[in-house]
Amino acid sequence: MSELNQIISEQLSLVVFAAAVILLVLVIIQIVQGSKLRKMRRKYEAMMSGNGVEDLESLLIDLKNQSEMLEEGQREHKALIEAAQTKMRGMKSKVAIKRYNAFGERGNDLSFSMAIIDDSSSGVVLTSLHNRENSYIYSKPLEGGTSQYPLSPEEKEVIALALQQI
């Protein structure tokens, strides 16, 4: 037994020294972790201050709900834009006009041809022939840039001018 006491007493200083070193390392780790935790808490409080939110979970839920509302609004706007684009394609937006003298030296440039067409080259050509005694107005429908009625050179020219527009 005395031998056991002697071994313990010889190793006691080494065990106490090792325990002190381990304790010192643990204290240093605790100080470092406490510092990191304080920094994180300050950042969290700075992020959460002023917005009326008590915790991060409710903030994330609110952000998710707002994101869903924005996506729904974006879908609605996209549908409205597509409907407007479809409607605009069917509008008669390309217009061209040409004035000319239809009767040679007996008139002025009072006659005209006007084309009003859409993006698919459908629409109408209006032609007014004017001289001193009479005026005549003709309307010819267009489908795909052509008409079932014969077109004059001026009418063909005004259709080509209208089709060149953007």
Tokens of 77: 């706007």
**pLDDT surpassing 70 at residue 70:** yes
The percentage of residues in the chain with a pLDDT greater than 90, rounded to a whole number, is 43
Q: Give the pLDDT confidence of 34-50 residue by residue, as tens digits.
A: 999 999 998 888 777 76
Best CA proximity match to 99, nearest among 108, 86, 90? 108
Instruction: Write down the pLDDT at residue 25.
Output: 96
CA-CA distances (angstroms) from residue 140 to 6, 11, 52?
Answer: 124, 116, 69
Contact status, residue 161 vs residue 125, Cβ threshold 8 Å: no
Give the global pTM.
Answer: 0.51
Contact status, residue 128 vs residue 140, Cβ threshold 8 Å: no
